[in-house]
Chain A
Amino acid sequence: MSRVLTIGSGPAGLEAARCVAELGYDVTLIEQLDRLGGTPEIERYAKLTHHFRDSEEAMREMITAVTSKPNVQVLPNTTVLSASGEAGKFRVAVKNGGAPQEIEAGAIIIATGFQHFDPGRETQYYNYYSLPDVITISDLEGMLKDHAVLRPSTGTPPQKVAFIQCVGSRDRQIGNEYCSKVCCGIASKQAIEIREQLPDSQVFIFYIDMRMYGYWEPQLYWPAQEQHKVTYVKGLVSEILPQGDRILIRGEDTTMGRPMEITLDMVVLSVGMEPSEGTKSMAGVFGVEQNQYGFIATGGASGIDPVATSRPGIFVVGAAAGPSDLDDSFSTAGLAAVRAASVLRNGGK
């Protein structure tokens, strides 16, 4: 059996499918929606953290790199119903539109990604669902794409905007003890974009600690502060309250050891990552273990393998395994493609 089944068509799924196809094996890529691209497509990402590349353009290139391969079969509008078999000979029942179908595959790559934390679950008083001018980084991404960063309440450009970091992340009460890894970079990227689109605006980022992995430090954080004059303040916010037709945030400036009460026009919640519904259901369908946060557990026998699930022949890539940036998605996709290919070559051994 020389086919690999890849589930999910975000960056990780696309890259895994492309790599398997490049290695000369057949791929079936299934996607539950009618279009490919995953979260960047669904949430209308404006720009990527990588050199501020246009997200739509980058995704289009990735999609074309997959759909142009003769040995890739793309099945949109498709969901997985059940699975049986083992490494080298899986049989997976899917529903393509209305029609059931069975796919035989030697290896499976799960790339079902994440969903953003629902700020309604936040234990702080953040008022996401009651104050229109409290939005999330994903809401803002669409505004940036449309070049229409506007206060939802008035339709006018905000003068003062604040990002609040770690919403739904690093929180024992919420149950998400992990760092979502990308939000510091995304907030800094978006702060730069707001300053570019609204040069008269004042932009704040309230944080516990800025986690700028690797090159994000010189590519995002430093330029945001040094060139784009974004105001970084160490200390999170406990309350977001209405103040007339504006917003009052209350917190502590920990560097000064003093309380702060700042009036703003718009607040952006840097919501973290949680396993998507698809990720949770695929874990059930394929019987792979999940970690305590619901992501698909990795590690394999060595404990350090980032794509191995609890079942041989089934691999996980990208944010289905936990908070990931695009680099993580690409790295795990490539690794999983090689692993899947060797399962096919060795007949499941």
Chain B
Amino acid sequence: METTVKLKVQGVIELKEALVDGIDVSGHWNRMFEQRVIWEYTPHLIQEVASLNDAESFSWCYQCAKCVPVCPVDVVGNYGPRKLYKNAQTGTSLLESPNLWLCTTCMNCLRVCPKQVDVTKAIPAAREQAILNGKSVPAELQEALENTSRYGNELGQPARKRDAWVAQASVPVRVLSKEKQPVEWLWWVETYPAYHPRGIDASVALARIFHTLGLDVGIIGRDEKTTADSQRLAGERGLFEMLAEENIATLGKYEFKRIVVTDPHAMNAFRKHYPGLGGTYDVWHYTQLLADHLDTLRQHMTRSLGYHVTYHDPCYLGRHHGEYEAPRKLIEALPGVTFSEMWRNRENGYCCGGGGGGMWLDGFVVEHQARRLSEQRILEAVATGADTLVVSCPYEVSRFEDAAKSTGNENTIRIRDIAELIAEAIPA
């Protein structure tokens, strides 16, 4: 009944079947023309966003369009901060538009923006306002947010299972909530590495590497809750702050020197947002910690892997925190591995689509884009000729494995966390 036929001329719509008051007006009888003429400019819709906390720069756009070619969403759709601004100027409220949910906060636009328009601040503020206004949040995201609020993790898993993965590790893992001893490195595991099967694979590998290096490492266990940085970016700043308070209180119970994180999103929360909320820590990504012990690692990595690999820069490790080299140093040190870069790498690395709430917007995003960002990226990885795509963010393994399947590349390319490859290169 609602089948829409778009005719060849842009802006013309026809419903295949239509019945109005019992009269059949199917086909050309209901032909409609979309409004082309702009009758009014609506700068107040720009201000609707720009007047929000931290979002002022949204109104600075002067339409140079440098953001558009580097926007990962525009590659598979029709997007970019310039367009969000222009749409608002010509009558489309960002708060009412599906576009509100498509930004992954990957920050590639800000990197090139001459006016320093920061949508990684404006978009979360707009989402927060839309939620406050009672706009409906896409269902999957809503569920992840509710899970986060109820269980302290977006997957809706029980807290008591947060350290269950330790049983799978082949080495002892210190769980600090059980032993209450000081530790040098507090390992902040985060949700996916604690609960997701493929995340657990990386955690098990990482535990073995830490053990091999003889590092003094411990995890908190069941009291650890997600830092919820992506939930913050999805518009739930209140939830983020509530969890930050809890996590800061939890961390206050333990004696440690530094934090090592598996998840770059957790690193972002700790480094950029926790200090303002009363929690200041020395936070390292695990690739940085391992790169710091590269000489020792080399001695242990004796098994030749025979892989041709490429590497995907996570947005929140790369652009957001400037770390491009530590993962590459580790890859270079892997025995029997050849390395090819994808054409978008480092500062210009493509986004996997998982950030800024994208992890929990998959069904929504698919409706508005030609393909998933992860699928686009898989095709770029396959194009290098690599048989292995190396990642260093826990969002990515499952995203890219799904994308490899949906693009028919599951037998062409395998997805591995760097930790998995390092562990594989260390004979048991």
Contacts and interface: CB of A to CB of B under 8 A. Distances in A.
A262 B41 contact: yes
B43 A262 contact: no
A253 interface: yes
A226 interface: yes
A326 interface: no
Contact of B63 (A221, A234, A260, A262): A234
Contacts of B115: 222
Contacts of A229: 43, 47, 59
Contacts of A262: 38-41
A233 B41 contact: yes
B132 interface: no
A258 B47 contact: no
A231 B41 contact: yes
A110 to B, nearest CB: 39
B37 interface: yes
Contacts of B41: 202, 204, 231, 233, 262
B281 interface: no
A222 B47 CA distance: 16
A264 B13 CA distance: 31
Interface in B16-42: 36-41
Contacts of A258: 36-38, 90
B121 to A, nearest CB: 16
Nearest to A234: B63
Nearest to B36: A258
A255 B65 CA distance: 10
A321 to B, nearest CB: 31
B37 A231 contact: no
A259 B63 contact: no
A194 B345 CA distance: 47
B60 A202 contact: no
Given A231-B43, A256-B86, A226 B59 contact: yes
Interface in A120-166: none
A261 interface: yes
Interface string A174-214: 00000000000000000000000000001010000010000
A261 B59 contact: no
A255 B43 contact: no
Contacts of A233: 41, 89
Given A229-B47, A231-B43, A255 B63 contact: yes
Given A229-B43, A229-B47, A259 B60 contact: no
A260 B86 CA distance: 14
A234 B43 CA distance: 15
A256 B90 contact: yes
B38 A259 contact: yes
A225 B61 CA distance: 9
B62 interface: yes
B94 to A, nearest CB: 16
A261 B38 contact: yes
Contacts of A255: 63, 86
A253 B59 contact: no
A286 interface: no
Nearest to A232: B62
Given A253-B38, A262-B39, A262-B41, A225 B62 contact: yes
Interface in A232-267: 232-234, 253, 255-256, 258-262
A126 to B, nearest CB: 20
Interface in A260-311: 260-262
B43 A261 contact: no
Interface in B40-83: 40-41, 43, 47, 59-60, 62-63
Given A231-B43, A259-B38, A262-B39, 12 more contacts: A202-B43, A210-B62, A221-B62, A225-B62, A229-B43, A231-B41, A232-B63, A253-B90, A255-B63, A260-B37, A261-B37, A262-B38
In order of increasing CB-CB distance, the 7 nearest A-B pairs are: A260-B38, A259-B37, A231-B43, A226-B60, A231-B41, A258-B36, A261-B37
17 contacts: A202-B41, A210-B62, A222-B60, A225-B59, A225-B60, A225-B62, A226-B59, A229-B59, A231-B41, A232-B62, A253-B38, A255-B63, A256-B86, A259-B37, A261-B37, A261-B39, A262-B41
